[in-house]
Amino acid sequence: MLDPAGPAAHSIARLWWVMLIGSTAIFALVMLLLALAWRPARAGATEAAAERTWIMGLGLAFPVAVLLVLLGYGLWLGERLLPRAGPDVARVAAVARQWSWTFSYDEAPGRTTDGVLHIPAGRPVDVAITTRDVIHSFWVPRLAGKLDAIPGHVNVLRIEADTPGSYAGLSAEFSGHGYEDHSFTVIAHAPDDWQAFLEDGQ
């Protein structure tokens, strides 16, 4: 997840780092306030007013402001990750079952592969995800986020690989004994290799 190899994965990794920095700032401030709370008490209205400032201004306002900024950034980024129509989008289907994945390709009708998803590198790919039995999840950590495969429903996830290569995919949904081995491989092809796959299945 922290070694992204595609646009969506880069965005998700950036969000992870932003959230880590924001949560670390909140944690550090809360620890500082906790340490200050152990100071010996001093009487006086000035001290009481200062403590109210610390509690209300930094103890509440700062964390709320940081969390609102993180929420806004997360919502904005999530909207950008939604699949959009486009002329150069490849489309594949992923069907899960205990314990394997079957993939089919709009650009090669009738062609299916088991356990290996072939995609073109450098092009967005919309994966239509569903399942034949229980809920599974489709996740290629280096290429995109995770999306559930739900019986009777199709969810669409956009993935893209920056460069040709092989990427590990897995199901991260506890769905019974054997789920820990429910994995697959994504192979991203250079343009010539992708065309050869579509024509020959190689």
- pLDDT value for 127: 94
CATH 3.40.50.1220 given to domain 90-200? no
Residue 202 above 60 pLDDT?
no
Question: 119, 89 in Cβ contact below 8 A?
Answer: no
Cis-peptide into 99, omega within 30 deg: yes
Distance (Å, whole) CA 9 – CA 5: 6
- Angle among Cα 191, 200, 86 to the nearest 5 degrees reads 40
Predicted confidence (pLDDT) per residue in 103-134, tens digit: 999 888 888 999 999 999 989 999 999 999 88
pLDDT band at residue 51 using 50, 70 and 90 as cut-offs: low
Predicted structure pTM score: 0.73
For the residues 26-44, what does the mean pLDDT come to?
Answer: 73
Residue 95 above 90 pLDDT?
yes
